[in-house]
Structure 1
Amino acid sequence: MSQLPSEPLFVVAPGDVSGPGGGAPPSLSDDQALDAYSRVVTQVVDRVGPSVVRIDVKRGGRNAGAGSGVIISPDGLALTNSHVVQGARSVVLTTLEGRELQARVLGDDPDTDLALLRVDEDVTLPAATLGDSGRLRRGQIAIAIGNPLGFDATVTAGVVSALGRSLQSRTGRMIEDVVQTDAALNPGNSGGPLVSSAGEVIGINTAIIMGAQGICFAVASNTAHFVAGEIARHGRVRRAYIGVGAATTPIPRRVALRLGLEQGSGARLLSVDQRGPAAHAGLLTGDLIIALDDKPVAGVADLMRLLDADKIARTVSVDFIRRSERLRLWIGPQDRALAPLARAS
């Protein structure tokens, strides 16, 4: 995603690496640089700001919570955090102009802290574009728009501080590929967009670390795109289930060397549901899973990530260590929502 202002500061002809006059490209003064930065931010806010909404959850006529959201489709589809809707079936959206709209919760996914909403009435609303978070780079401009502490339409700006973070959701499952930013976030920003200088949503703001300065997180837009699609098609996010409880455990060095393993850890099975696919395949408590469907498993986070919808009703390989020996079994994961007493994996 481009990080340049929409208007070039100077034009260089093709093949000409010099600035005006044939010398080195001119450097910007502090005032010019700040003006260029300000133009980028204001242009993004003008473009994306109208698609950002305040979300109020009401129970028994009383306000039970509030947060932010972003319209992603002109007909009234909106993304927010799962923890903002708090299991509610309907919420109230307030637009930048103060228009109140009733919306249904089409589905929420606590595993990624995302929820998809639809406005009840026939509307045409300004919508933001979900960008490709896979193209992000550290240091890019990141702009957060939301309603922190009830202050509507608040804008903060910073940079993408880090990529590929993991964040534990309320369900215990790890949210993968989280974007870290130093754009200031506060309670109420939750569910609002983190936006690039190209005016595309690169994340849905989800968490802050209390007491820390400039450490905030957003669920990556690619994850949001996947979750929104799953909910729109199925009403939920489908995930595979094999019926185990596990913990990330180091592989003894002598065992790793003997087996020729590059990874230093795996997912140790602490419990195996006797009615689940893992037990039917022959996995036992104490087995150390090191690969699923030929993809390395270095811990619980990898195991959960790999148990996606593509594995449902398929037969996949499981490589594991038992009594210092590497073994392989074949397993048929089930739809987690249909599994009895389903654990995290």
Structure 2
Amino acid sequence: MLDAPFPASDDLLLDAYSRAVTAAVARVGPSVVHVATRRGPGGGSGSGVVISPDGLVLTNAHVVAGAEALEATAPDGRRFPARLLGQDRATDIAVLRAEAQGPLPAAELGESARLRVGQVAIAIGNPLGFANTVTAGIVSATGRALPSRGGWPVEDLIQTDAALNPGNSGGALADSAGRVIGIATAVIMGAQGLCFAVAADTARLVLSQVLRFGRVRRAVLGIAVEKVAVAGRLARAAGVDGQGFGARIMRVVPDGPAAAAGLAEGDVILSIDGVATTGADALLRALGGERVGVPSDIVALRGGEVKQVQVVPAERGGAG
């Protein structure tokens, strides 16, 4: 019996999942650069994602912190200097300009608000110096928060089990369509399958403010939140009928604005000055710089009862 002929196309050897992942990598991979930093006699490295042909690059603020010089290396080996346009340590996002000759392959920023737990997540970066390393997993959760060195929590994080390692920081987390849904930022050392990325919607917000103002000015309440479902009758009682979700407080920063106003862990924030807060991403968007120092009315749920409080947001430190 003759052996079956070898398939004429590699596509025939791939199942649907493999085809989706390889297509996404082909789309995003050329846009993921290695970012090298020089700090005095030493240096460091991480990853970055080119998001416009003229060289705008998203990376992590902690990758470029204290850097005296920056250099980006494309997957094809081209090297070019880069300069810092602005950073926001509160969200761990920095914006660079890669000064390349000619256009660069650019990735598309997706809409992280539409993410669903369980969908495919593909990480591309330069872990431990291994260029353009690809790992894949799923979106494990959305709207996570982690404490930062400055005390304020970093919010609106995507949790994934796509493996990340030192050097992945600033790299791409993409969906199966090849859209960047997050910028890789952190792992929990000693844990397995607990990796995090800054949501694309948050990165887009930082990008727009850096390009417009050169910095990010943001109001904060001093809380970490997560997205939770809200019963329709409770939403109607609070005057926010139809939103379906709220932002449950997971942690309150001592002496912060929320603590001063009497908000507590477990409270579910439904709106701020009439703007629905359906999760960490919506709360971040609602807390623009114009709210700093301005009393704001918050509608929240506590134990099934509607609670109305007034909070005076502070300005979040670590920006600029």
- TM interval, shorter chain, is 0.7 to 0.9
Partner of 2:21 in structure 1?
Answer: 41
- Superposition pairs for residues 265-284 of structure 1, below 5 Å? 271=255
Q: Does 1:115 align with 2:89?
A: no
Larger RCO: 1 or 2 (CA < 8 Å, sep 6+): 2
The alignment's C-alpha RMSD in Å is 3.9
The 2-side partners of 1:155 and 1:270 are apart by: 40
Note the residue ranges of structure 1 that are not aligned, 5 or more in a row: 1-30, 249-259, 273-277, 321-325
The aligned amino acid for 1:42 is: T
The 2-side partners of 1:266 and 1:179 are apart by: 16
The aligned amino acid for 2:206 is: V
Partner of 1:7 in structure 2?
Answer: none
The 1-side partners of 2:58 and 2:247 are apart by: 37
Asked if structure 1 preserves the Cα contact closer than 8 Å seen for 2:38 and 2:44, the reply is yes
Percentage identity across aligned positions? 51
Partner of 1:134 in structure 2?
Answer: 113
Q: TM-score, with normalisation over the residues of structure 2?
A: 0.73
- Per-residue CA shift, 1:240-266, capped at 9, x if unaligned? 379xx8899xxxxxxxxxxx9999979
The 1-side partners of 2:206 and 2:285 are apart by: 14
Moved more, 166-175 or 98-107: 166-175
Q: Does 1:157 align with 2:136?
A: yes
Q: Does 1:218 align with 2:197?
A: yes
- Per-residue CA shift, 1:295-341, capped at 9, x if unaligned? 799xxx99988543242475534789xxxxx886685x67x38xxxx
Moved more, 124-133 or 137-146: 137-146
Q: Does 1:83 align with 2:28?
A: no
Residue in structure 2 matching 1:56, options 30, 36, 39:
36
Name the SS for the 1:96 alignment partner.
Answer: coil
Asked if structure 2 preserves the Cα contact closer than 8 Å seen for 1:111 and 1:170, the reply is no
Asked if structure 2 preserves the Cα contact closer than 8 Å seen for 1:268 and 1:286, the reply is no
Partner of 1:238 in structure 2?
Answer: 217
Cα offset for 1:120? 2.9
Number of residue pairs matched by the alignment: 277
The 1-side partners of 2:35 and 2:98 are apart by: 12
The aligned amino acid for 1:110 is: R
Note the residue ranges of structure 2 that are not aligned, 5 or more in a row: 1-10, 226-236, 239-245, 301-306
Residue in structure 1 matching 2:173, options 190, 194, 198:
194
Cα offset for 1:171? 2.1
Report which of the two structures shows the higher radius of gyration computed on alpha carbons. 1
Asked if structure 1 preserves the Cα contact closer than 8 Å seen for 2:122 and 2:135, the reply is yes
Cα offset for 1:222? 0.6
Asked if structure 2 preserves the Cα contact closer than 8 Å seen for 1:173 and 1:304, the reply is no
Moved more, 149-158 or 175-184: 175-184
Name the SS for the 1:212 alignment partner.
Answer: coil
The 1-side partners of 2:210 and 2:247 are apart by: 35
Distance 1:136-1:125 versus aligned 2 partners, 3 A rule? same
Residue in structure 1 matching 2:184, options 191, 196, 205:
205
Cα offset for 1:212? 1.1
Partner of 2:262 in structure 1?
Answer: 288
Distance 1:46-1:165 versus aligned 2 partners, 3 A rule? same
Name the SS for the 1:103 alignment partner.
Answer: strand
Name the SS for the 1:123 alignment partner.
Answer: coil
Distance 1:150-1:171 versus aligned 2 partners, 3 A rule? same
The aligned amino acid for 2:94 is: A
